[in-house]
Structure formats: C-alpha cells, structure tokens
C-alpha cells in the first residue's frame, strides 16, 4: 500500500482539551491506531465549556458533546479528579477548583493536607478517577472509567506530574505519582486505564453502545 493510500485511510480524533500535555498523552496512547489526534482549538472550537455536571462521566460528555456539535467529527473528552474516602469522596469533580479561584496546585495540596491532619495512614485511602467519553460522527456515544487506587501521603514527594501527584502514594511501588517516570505513571494512571479501554474499543470497532464500567 502506498504512503498516499495510508494517509487517506487515517482518521481524525478531536480531543476536547486545550492542554498540550494532555493532548500529547492521548496521542501517545492511541498512536498504534490510524488516527491523528488534534486539539479542539486546532479543530476551530475555541469557546470555554461550562463543566457543570455532578459526575466525572457527565462532565466528560458535556465537553465531548460541545465539541461534536461544532465539528461533527469523532471527539474524545475526559474529566478526572481525586476522591478521598475520609472526605466522603471530596474534592471529586471539584478537584480543579479545590481551594478556590486562582488556587495553585500547591495551594490545593496544602488544603488537602490540612483537612486530613491527624488522620492515620490507613484511613487516608483515595483514588484518582478518569471518565473518558467518545462520540462518533454519527452521534453514537460511549463512556468508560479508569481509576488508580492509593493513599494520601503526609507530605508532598517528587517533582514529576502535576496537581495532587506529589501527595498520591501508590503502595505497590512505594512511590508517589510525582516520583514516577512517565512510562510507569501512564501504565497505572487513571487516565491511562481509561484511554486503554478507548483504545480497545477503537481497535475492535465495537462502538454501538455505552459502557460506564
């Protein structure tokens, strides 16, 4: 098959994000498929999207539908955050806004540590959650969920990653997410787990129904 024929067969996925790091992560995880991953901005969608859902799944679909309505292309969106069991699942869908408007990652981590002050290690269980929504040009939708289980450490450790990564300790590796290299992080992360489910669906061509597992 000629290179020109292969190029014609490639498809496009629009990632409902303006975050270059997230875009590159998605593109890397889907690289073995004949898809070119571009950002919503590159697809001509520059408006901010109001993520007002009550769950990660709702927010992922809100973003995916907003971009799909404008482009009509295959769209992939995700919403993710941290759930702490001792805090009844908080900060949850408010993870990015935890600590108030303008709060930095460090501010959010300080607030989280303050709320867990005095809580013993075995009661600091938590998980990262990622819901990924995929909409096809014909309007078919599906949603999958990926998680990563761990604990909230007593203090930050590591310089990699972002957000709550320096506080999220994974006992199986004896490291926080921020202490892991990119390859290890992607192999166990909530987003990596969710996107691998999307990869399996795209590889298998099974997109006829919604999957909320």
CA distance 213 to 204: 17
CA angle 187, 188, 189 (to 5 degrees): 105
The SS3 of residue 118 is: coil
Task: Report, in this order, helix, strand and coil percent for the chain, each rounded to 5.
Answer: 40, 25, 35
Identified catalytic residue from 7, 47, 78, 79: 79
Question: How would DSSP label each residue in 26-43?
Answer: HHHHTTTSSEEEEETTTT
Q: Please tell me the distance from the alpha carbon of residue 114 to that of residue 2, in angstroms, as a whole number.
A: 60
Q: Does 79 qualify as catalytic in the annotation?
A: yes
Distance (Å) of CA 169 to CA 36, 85, 99, 111, 159: 34, 14, 21, 17, 14
Single out the residue of 145, 148, 129 nearest to residue 212, CA to CA. 145
Residues with active-site annotation? 79
């Amino acid at each position: 098959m000629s290179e020109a024929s292969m190029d014609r067969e490639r498809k496009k996925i629009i990632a409902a994000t303006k975050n270059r790091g997230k875009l590159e992560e998605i593109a890397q995880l889907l690289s073995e498929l004949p898809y070119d991953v571009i950002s919503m901005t590159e697809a001509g969608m520059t408006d901010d999207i109001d993520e007002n859902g009550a769950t990660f799944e709702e927010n992922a679909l809100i973003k995916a539908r907003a971009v799909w309505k404008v482009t009509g292309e295959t769209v992939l969106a995700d919403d993710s955050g941290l759930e702490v069991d001792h805090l009844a699942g908080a900060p949850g869908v408010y993870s990015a806004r935890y600590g108030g408007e303008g709060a930095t990652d460090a501010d959010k981590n300080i607030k989280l540590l303050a709320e867990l002050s005095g809580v013993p290690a075995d009661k600091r269980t938590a998980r990262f959650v990622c819901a990924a929504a995929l909409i096809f040009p014909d309007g078919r939708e599906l949603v999958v969920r990926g998680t990563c289980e761990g604990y909230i450490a007593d203090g930050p450790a590591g310089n990699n990653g972002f957000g709550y990564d320096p506080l999220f300790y994974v006992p199986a590796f004896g490291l926080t997410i921020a202490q892991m290299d990119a390859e290890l992080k992607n192999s166990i992360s909530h987003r990596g787990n969710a996107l691998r489910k999307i990869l399996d669906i795209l590889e298998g061509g099974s997109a006829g129904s919604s999957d909320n597992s």
